[in-house]
Amino acid sequence: MNMDNSVNYSQQQLALDQMFKDINPALSARQAGIESSRCYYCYDAPCIKACPSKINIPSFIASIHADDLTGAAKTIYKENIMGGSCARVCPTEILCEQACVRNHEAEKAPVKIGLLQRHATDNAEFEGHPFERAENTGKKIAVVGAGPAGLSCAHRLALLGHEVEVFEAQPKAGGLNEYGIAKYKLTENFAQEEVDFILSIGGITVHYDRALGKDISLSTLKEEFDSVFLSIGLQDTSSLYLEHEDNDSVLNSVDFIKELRQATDIDQLDIPKDSAIVIGAGNTAIDIACQLKRLGTEEVTLVYRRGEAQMSATGHEQQIAKNHQVRIKTWSQPEKINLDEQGKLRSMTFSKTYLDQDKLKSTGEQFEVPCSAVFKAVGQKMAYPQTEQLIPTISNGKVATFHNQLTSIEGVFAGGDCTGVGQDLTVEAVQQGKLAALAIHQELTSSEEK
């Protein structure tokens, strides 16, 4: 990708970046050369099948091995324009690297596909954007939300010759890459550099601070554009339903991560010194726990009501938490948030749990964990703007999509976390955006032929 790093860094910003150094450092050229030689260039390669965005992995690795990083990066971007961030945030241990045939050998060591992808995307050099746009089709498409799904969709549409206008509720594009990914996974200003890289294809206009249901409405977009893609993400968080949950020291993890990712100085952050409790078992819970440790919180306890095997965070993620000296307390459910006489958070009370024929039950035994802050990471929800007149069918709390990412409304497509498909991975969002773009293109160009 290799964009100009034009941001002026302050000393404080540098200090913060130093604290959040890459958890998975890049390969050197020599390491990449050796690692790339480990790929067997499989027939009907299982890694491609396991990649949600269907990157031709053996091909890009062969290009790395032949010293053609430009060719390698182009192969990646052809299927996944966010190949740079996916190389960093993808849970490769449950995707391509899990499928690698080298797991079945005695040494059980898959090719480090994620790191190789990063090597290619970090080091490839392009004169301008790697792809050339097709001739202008005269069609205009609105994309709502500039996260991975929206950006991927916008890029593919621009590539195919359409004009795209993106409406983003936040002051910056990138979605969770900018606001939600752990700082040690996407370091420094990578998210914005990637956005700049994607937009450099041309034909995409981003309107910032324009939220659906407030500044724009689906019905107007439908009138003004030939097609609409919805990728609004998740806006709301789940609750513990406990008394004192509104206390100032009981926080939503996603809000804190967002603050941290936008902070330019550590002093802007309110960091618990002695102890913090994280409630949850997903990757967000792991992310916040590890980041608190890096920020200096002495004791971080991650509490989950079931066991390690039931955690949605992968084994790899759990290991990251352990490496950060995060204490993981399983089979414990929140009972009470305890405040002192001044109304300051003092501790939380949990009760021990067990499984009784698939039903979680309390043993009745309780214990207390002192803390100066609680971080909730018990899930996010979609809150479709109620002010909207035109609302697509919502199913299980998410925008329902049918064939080719089409919603219940004609000409309106959707993708990313706001739809209920997959595991809310960045790479899935990118793929859904891409597929939607192809479907939109198909629809707009074939209707013309009629």
Partner 1 sequence: MADLSIDFVGIKAPNPFWLASAPPTDKAYNVERAFEAGWGGVVWKTLGEDPAAVNVSSRYSALYDHNGEVSGFNNIELITDRSLEINLREIEAVKKSWPDRALVVSLMMPCEEQIWKTILKQVEATGADGIELNFGCPHGMPERGMGAAVGQVPEYVEMVTRWCKEHSKMPVIVKLTPNITDVRFPARAAKSGGADAVSLINTINSITSIDLDAMAARPIVDGKSTHGGYCGPAVKPIALNMVGEIARDPETAGLPISGIGGIGNWRDAAEFISLGAGSVQVCTAAMIYGFNIVTEMKEGLSNWMDSKGYENIEAFKGLAVPNTTDWKKLNMNYKVVATIDEDKCIGCGRCYQACEDTSHQAIEVTANEDGTNSFGIIDDNCVGCNLCEITCPVDDCITMDERSKGQPYMNWMQDERNPHREEV
In the complex, the residues that contact partner 1 under the rule CB under 8 A are: 30, 33-34, 37, 40-44, 46, 49, 65, 101-102, 104-105
Among residues 99 and 444, whose Cβ is nearest to partner 1? 99
Distances (CA, A) of 29 to 63, 67, 117: 13, 9, 13
Residue 82 and residue 148 in contact, taking contact as beta carbons nearer than 8 Å: yes
255 contacts: CB under 8 Å, gap ≥ 6: none
13: buried, middle or exposed (CB in 10 Å: 19+, 13-18, 0-12)?
Answer: middle
Among residues 40 and 402, whose Cβ is nearest to partner 1? 40
Shortest CB 49 distance to partner 1, Å = 6
Among residues 36 and 275, whose Cβ is nearest to partner 1? 36
DSSP 266: G
Shortest CB 151 distance to partner 1, Å = 29
Shortest CB 39 distance to partner 1, Å = 10
Strand order in the sheet with 299-303: 250-252, 373-376, 275-279, 299-303, 327-329
Distances (CA, A) of 227 to 122, 144, 215, 417, 437: 34, 11, 19, 20, 10
DSSP line for 2-67: -----PPPPHHHHHHHHHT--SSPPPPHHHHHHHHHT----TT-HHHHH-TT---HHHHHHHHHTT
Shortest CB 66 distance to partner 1, Å = 11
- Alpha-carbon distance of 269 to 260, in angstroms, equals 7
Alpha helices per DSSP H over 38-170: 46-50, 57-65, 69-79, 83-89, 96-99, 113-123, 148-159
**H-run or E-run covering 395:** strand 394-395
Among residues 30 and 403, whose Cβ is nearest to partner 1? 30
Shortest CB 104 distance to partner 1, Å = 4
- Alpha-carbon distance of 69 to 83, in angstroms, equals 13
Among residues 123 and 291, whose Cβ is nearest to partner 1? 123
Shortest CB 128 distance to partner 1, Å = 23
- Alpha-carbon distance of 168 to 395, in angstroms, equals 24
151 contacts: CB under 8 Å, gap ≥ 6: 81, 82, 166, 173, 174, 175, 195, 198, 433
Q: First vs last Cα of the chain: how many Å apart?
A: 40
422: buried, middle or exposed (CB in 10 Å: 19+, 13-18, 0-12)?
Answer: middle
Among residues 102 and 324, whose Cβ is nearest to partner 1? 102
Shortest CB 367 distance to partner 1, Å = 43
Among residues 28 and 325, whose Cβ is nearest to partner 1? 28
Shortest CB 40 distance to partner 1, Å = 4
Shortest CB 44 distance to partner 1, Å = 6
Among residues 52 and 203, whose Cβ is nearest to partner 1? 52
Among residues 46 and 379, whose Cβ is nearest to partner 1? 46
Interhelix angle 253-262/283-295, nearest 10 degrees: 50
Shortest CB 159 distance to partner 1, Å = 30
Q: Which two tokens stand for residue 7?
A: 């941001």
297 residue type, one letter = T
Residue 398 and residue 378 in contact, taking contact as beta carbons nearer than 8 Å: no
Among residues 43 and 241, whose Cβ is nearest to partner 1? 43
Shortest CB 450 distance to partner 1, Å = 38
Query: How many residues comprise the chain?
Result: 450
Shortest CB 25 distance to partner 1, Å = 20
Among residues 89 and 115, whose Cβ is nearest to partner 1? 115
Among residues 66 and 355, whose Cβ is nearest to partner 1? 66
